[in-house]
Amino acid sequence: MTTNLPVTTGHQLGRRSWAEPWKIKMVEPLRVTSPDQREHALAEAGYNTFLLRSDDVYIDLLTDSGTSAMSDRQWAGLLLGDESYAGSRNFYQLEEAVRSAYGYQHVVPTHQGRGAEHLISQVAIRPGQYVPGNMYFTTTRAHQELAGGVFEDVIIDEAHDPESEHPFKGNVDIARLERLIAREGAKNIAYVSLAGTVNMAGGQPVSMECVRAVRALCDRHGIRVFLDATRMVENAFFIQEREPGYAGKTIAEILREFCSYTDGAWMSAKKDSLVNIGGWLALNDRDLFEEARNLVVVYEGLHTYGGLAGRDMQAMAIGIAESLQEDHVRARIGQVRYLGDLLARAGVPFVRPVGGHAVFLDARRFYPHLSQDVFPAQTLAAELYLDSGVRSMERGVVSAGRDPATGEHHYPRLELTRLTIPRRVYTQAHMDIVAESVQAVYEQRESAKGLVMTYEPRYLRFFQARFDRL
Ligand code: F0G
């Protein structure tokens, strides 16, 4: 099946504006609610946007995960699903797509990213070992800790500063990583957990120079480097745009080169790869792969479907090819930046520079009168929903959870509310509405009082915690 869409957009016509390299074939109606309905729905949801029903949401910017619109090619691919229990042809198509786009040898499909995080953590971490990473991600760190690992943040300081304009805020602080290796010894480092882009820092990229330096340092100490490739295509776009020597390379070439400095990767295909479900773990080491392939049978399903239907793997294989089209990535990030520009004009504080998948509102500067103990970012997500039915997500103290050793809250320096843009779903006019609503909430910022947590689940509390108004 051909996945090469003919694309002629503003970019290729030599214009400065970005435009979507597609037109809309099928639509889904949106529902607008009244302020009273929203007040009721949010109280029912314990002031947690994860607990809202999507029917009560107008524009859904909760996440870019699994919320993409698939192309006509991907939908057609669903009909080619080979639902054999073992050896499905769609698995081999997926394997080939991952090998050619990302360059790794061996592929284990999983139902989504955290399935792959579970496998890599179980096969590559011994209890007590350190796992240095460029900022934590919620599910990634949870699986590392469940495997007995100790996460250590080795991202550069600029990543924690929402106002820093550093072009690669996702970079590893090489000196910090070196100090950790010296302090604990290379044997006590499970692997370096590198993510591109860095979600919790605002979708910020890692440079090629950085991954090369990480590789060189790890080679000297015999430490492996594994990549969270979830939004690596978006990361490649930033390298093409910002890093000397890469302007003439394609996103596909940059992706391959970046991955070549790592020993394997886990993937939530629900992001870059434009599918509603799916993921994979890819490894170059044959022995480690055999272990992961054995474990997948216990937790996900046979190693040729990993918890997915054959049709899901087919859609993923096609989505991988589509995700690498230059005009697609340019329009995708162009839309995120469009929203950022509107908010900048309104004087709303958010993380600079705008990253790949979302605009992250800076709740600390938005609500300077609220301390982190009353959950400013959670409050902002609640107020935004009440204003317009736009759903966003907290990425601050609630998401950071507790230190497993001390039981204390992690207090991250970044207290953010994420406006996450699904791929190929909303229009520029929807972004205008979102910006208007954020501006309205910003104008009433002094009246916000904060929230108190009334229920806290044990794992990944942000998904299911409940709150009340103060
Ligand atoms: N890694 C990163 C960087 C992610 O953003 C996610 C998911 C995962 C791993 C886990 O993948 O959801 O398929 O199991 N991020 C979603 C988000 C949930 O909203 O940021 P998953």
Q: Report the percentage of the chain scoring pLDDT > 70.
A: 97
Quote the pLDDT of residue 410: 93
Interval 380-433: pLDDT, tens = 999 999 999 999 999 999 999 999 889 999 999 999 999 999 999 999 999 999
Beta bridge partners of 195: 228
Beta bridge partners of 193: 133, 226
Q: Which of the listed residues 140, 271, 276, 462 should we mutate to test ligand 1's pocket, taking the one with most ligand atoms within 8 A of CB?
A: 271
Could you tell me which of 298, 302, 235 has the C-alpha nearest to residue 271?
235
Q: Which atom of ligand 1 is nearest to the CA of 62?
A: 19
Interval 216-262: pLDDT, tens = 999 999 999 999 999 999 999 999 999 999 999 999 999 999 999 99
Q: How far apart are CA 44 and CA 48, in angstroms?
A: 9
Classify 23 as helix, strand or coil: coil
This prediction's pTM:
0.96
State the chain's mean pLDDT as an integer.
Answer: 96
Interval 447-458: pLDDT, tens = 999 999 999 999
Interval 101-157: pLDDT, tens = 999 999 999 999 999 999 999 999 999 999 999 999 999 999 999 999 999 999 999
Quote the pLDDT of residue 11: 61
Quote the pLDDT of residue 46: 98
Interval 24-76: pLDDT, tens = 999 999 999 999 999 999 999 999 999 999 999 999 999 999 999 999 999 99
Domains and their CATH numbers in the chain = 10-60+326-469 (3.90.1150.10), 72-323 (3.40.640.10)
Quick one: tokens of 116? 């792959």
Q: Which of the listed residues 65, 114, 281, 399 should we mutate to test ligand 1's pocket, taking the one with most ligand atoms within 8 A of CB?
A: 65
384 contacts 437 by C-beta, under 8 angstroms: yes
Q: Is the CB of 270 under 6 A from ligand 1?
A: yes
Quote the pLDDT of residue 16: 73
Q: Report the percentage of the chain scoring pLDDT > 90.
A: 96
Nearest CA to ligand 1 atom 9: 113
Q: Is the CB of 169 under 6 A from ligand 1?
A: no
